C-alpha cells in the first residue's frame, strides 16, 4: 500500500474499485489512513477489495453501483457521507470499452452503453460528489481518462470519444469550483497491467507483447503507479493543481 501521503481522518470514494487501478487506489487510500467507500458493478470484485482493505485494518464500505445510473450514484455518495460523516476525495475510475473498428461498424447500442458508463458515469459522480464536498469547503476529485483522451490510434470509437469527453468535463468542473476549494483533475493511463488490459489484448501473450510494444519504457505500467499519482492529486501537495490531466503512460503520448 502507498504510504507517501497522510489521509488520516479523511474519506475517499473510489469507483471501478473491484479490480485493477480502482482496487490499487482504494487500497492505497486505505493504506494512507483514509476510510474508503468503494463502488463497482461487480459484486464479487467489490467484496474482494473490501476484504483486502478490512483485513489490513482499514475502514471500508462497499456499494454495488452501475455508474451509468445517476440514481445509483447519488444513493452511494449520500450513503457514504451518512456512514463516514464526510467526503474529502473521490477517484472516478469505472470504465468499459468497445472493439477496434471503423465508426460505421459500431452498433448504436454499444456506443450508448460506453458513453453512459465512461462519460455520463463520470458526470454523475462529479455532480453528486461536488454537492457533498462543497458545503464542507471543498475537496479533490480525480477522474480517469486515458491516452485515448488525447489520440485516436487505439481504434476504439466510443472509448476514444468518451475519454476525450472526460478531459473536457474535468476542465469545465475545475473552473466551476476553482474559487470554492474543490479541485478537479484527471489521470491519463497508458497500458497498465489490469484485467481490462488483458481483456483488450485478447488474453494472449501475443496481445500482451503488442501492448508492451506501444510503451516507450518497454513494459506495462502497474496499477500502483496510477494510484500514486491519484493520491498526490488528492493531497495538499497538489493544492495549486486543478484542471490538469496527468499522463501516466510510460512516454506513450511523447512519441
Residues 138, 180, 7: CA angle, nearest 5 degrees: 25
Is 159 part of the annotated catalytic residue set? yes
Catalytic, out of 7, 128, 159, 177: 159
Q: At what angle do helices 223-234 and 20-31 cross, to 10 degrees?
A: 50
* Pairwise CA distance, residues 190 & 182, whole Å: 26
* CA-angle at 66, arms to 61 and 70, nearest 5°: 100
Nearest alpha-carbon partner for 101 in 156, 139, 55: 156
Contact, 226 vs 192, CB < 8 A? yes
The β-bridge relationship of strands 35-40 and 60-64 is parallel
- How many Cβ atoms sit within 10 Å of the Cβ of residue 156? 21
Paired strand residues for 39? 15, 63
Q: In what order do the strands lie in the sheet with 139-144?
A: 60-64, 35-40, 11-15, 89-92, 139-144, 182-189, 245-248
> Could you identify the residue written with the cell 468518451?
162
Q: Which residues are catalytic?
A: 159
Amino acid at each position: 500500500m502507498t504510504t507517501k501521503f497522510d489521509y488520516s481522518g479523511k474519506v475517499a470514494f473510489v469507483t471501478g474499485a473491484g479490480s485493477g487501478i480502482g482496487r490499487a487506489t482504494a487500497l492505497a487510500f486505505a493504506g494512507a489512513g483514509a476510510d474508503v467507500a468503494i463502488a463497482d458493478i461487480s459484486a464479487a470484485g467489490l467484496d474482494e477489495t473490501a476484504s483486502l482493505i478490512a483485513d489490513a485494518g482499514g475502514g471500508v464500505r462497499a456499494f454495488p453501483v452501475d455508474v451509468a445510473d445517476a440514481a445509483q450514484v447519488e444513493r452511494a455518495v449520500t450513503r457514504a457521507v451518512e456512514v463516514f460523516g464526510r467526503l474529502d476525495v473521490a477517484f472516478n475510475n469505472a470504465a468499459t470499452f468497445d472493439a477496434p473498428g471503423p465508426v460505421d461498424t459500431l452498433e448504436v447500442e454499444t456506443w450508448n452503453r460506453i458513453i453512459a458508463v465512461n462519460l455520463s458515469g463520470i458526470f454523475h459522480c462529479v455532480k453528486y460528489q461536488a454537492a457533498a464536498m462543497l458545503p464542507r469547503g471543498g475537496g479533490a476529485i480525480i477522474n480517469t481518462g486515458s491516452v485515448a483522451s488525447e489520440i485516436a490510434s487505439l481504434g476504439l470509437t466510443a472509448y476514444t470519444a468518451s475519454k476525450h469527453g472526460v478531459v473536457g468535463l474535468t476542465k469545465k468542473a475545475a473552473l466551476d469550483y476553482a474559487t470554492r476549494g474543490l479541485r478537479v483533475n484527471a489521470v491519463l493511463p497508458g497500458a497498465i497491467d489490469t484485467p481490462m488490459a488483458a481483456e483488450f489484448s485478447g488474453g494472449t501473450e501475443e496481445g500482451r507483447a503488442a501492448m508492451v510494444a506501444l510503451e516507450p519504457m518497454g513494459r506495462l505500467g502497474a496499477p500502483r503507479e496510477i494510484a500514486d499519482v491519484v493520491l498526490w492529486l488528492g493531497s495538499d501537495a497538489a493544492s495549486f493543481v486543478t484542471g490538469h490531466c496527468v499522463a501516466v503512460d510510460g512516454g506513450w503520448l511523447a512519441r
